[in-house]
Amino acid sequence: MLRKKSFYVITLLVGIALLGAALVFRMFPEAPKSVGGMCIGIGAGLFGMSVANLYMKRLEKTDPKIVKKKQIEYTDERNTMIRNAAKAKAGDIIQWFIMGIAYLTILIGTPLWITLTVIGVFVLKCFLEAYFASKYQNEM
């Protein structure tokens, strides 16, 4: 279910190293702030993910019944259908947010390439939706 413990220990150490690198970048005023910000964001994300997954690994060893129950619930057909319906609804909502962002980029006068990129993402979503609908229709 989860990866090996050593993977999470390594990502924990990388996260801590990135947080430390961010502190080093803050000491040098000539260093770009965006690099330090990225180090903080990625480092904090890796740190949090690793701690949570190491805790889950510990929980696996102490109570294997919970892990077995979670695995059964995850692979249950009803829960799979619920997750897929939630993903589809989230995709529909995000589709309209993307179009709102495209209109917003037009209104605030951003460069044309930004607006076209946002519209390209919307068109890509529509093509992928049609492709997968056709693929699943042929399979079922």
Tens digits of pLDDT across the chain (140 residues): 457 888 999 999 999 999 998 888 888 777 777 788 888 999 999 999 999 999 988 888 888 788 788 888 878 888 888 888 898 899 889 999 999 999 998 999 889 999 999 999 999 998 998 898 888 888 87
Q: State the pLDDT at residue 72.
A: 83
Q: Where are the beta strands (DSSP E) in 7-121?
A: none
∠ CA 23-27-14, nearest 5°, is: 25
Residue among 54, 18, 51 at smallest CA distance from 37: 18
Q: State the pLDDT at residue 1.
A: 47
Q: State the pLDDT at residue 32.
A: 77
Tokens of 3: 């990866």
